[in-house]
Amino acid sequence: IVTNNHVIEQANEIKVKFQDDSELKAKLIGTDKLTDIALLKVESEKPLPFLKFADSDKARVGHSVFAIGNPFGLGGTVTSGIISAFNRDINAGPYDSFIQTDASINRGNSGGPLFDMKGNVVGINTAIFSQSGGSVGIGFAVSSNLAKQVTDQLKQYGRTKRGWLGVLIQEVSDE
């Protein structure tokens, strides 16, 4: 199960509640604070339905999307909108490259899916721009392609692995 790191970061215990009101205890597989992604695992006696990631590189500005979440404790809330922009930097970290949407995203939508019209996950609802704390039509989601890269590493290694180039950029003077 993919969610946001900030959703589970301070948790002592993690439970996942499903549409039929059943709950399962979740095990934390790994987190990546830099992209705000967390990967959980649940054990179930019955098969669980799952969603597929869309190729977020194929999405375009103006495409219709649906955001699902649990804003203000109202589980299963669905809102609709369009993709407003790509590659948004909201100063959340070094890997900012968010999908911007006008689908209403509020507190509690974090970690929920942003669906394309085919029912595939194009993003993970992550943040909003708001001076009041409520939705003003500017929401942000981690792209599914980035989420897939991160969750694949979390599943394999329990953490992300990134290259590091040890250089410093500075202005060069005539001297």
Residues catalogued as catalytic: 6, 36, 110
> What DSSP string describes the chain?
-EE-HHHHTT-SS-EEE-TTS-EEEEEEEEEETTTTEEEEEE--SS------B--GGG--TT-EEEEEE-GGG-TTEEEEEEEEEEEE--SS-TT--EEEE-S---TT-TT-EEE-TTS-EEEEEEEE--SSSS--S-EEEEEHHHHHHHHHHHHHHSS----------------
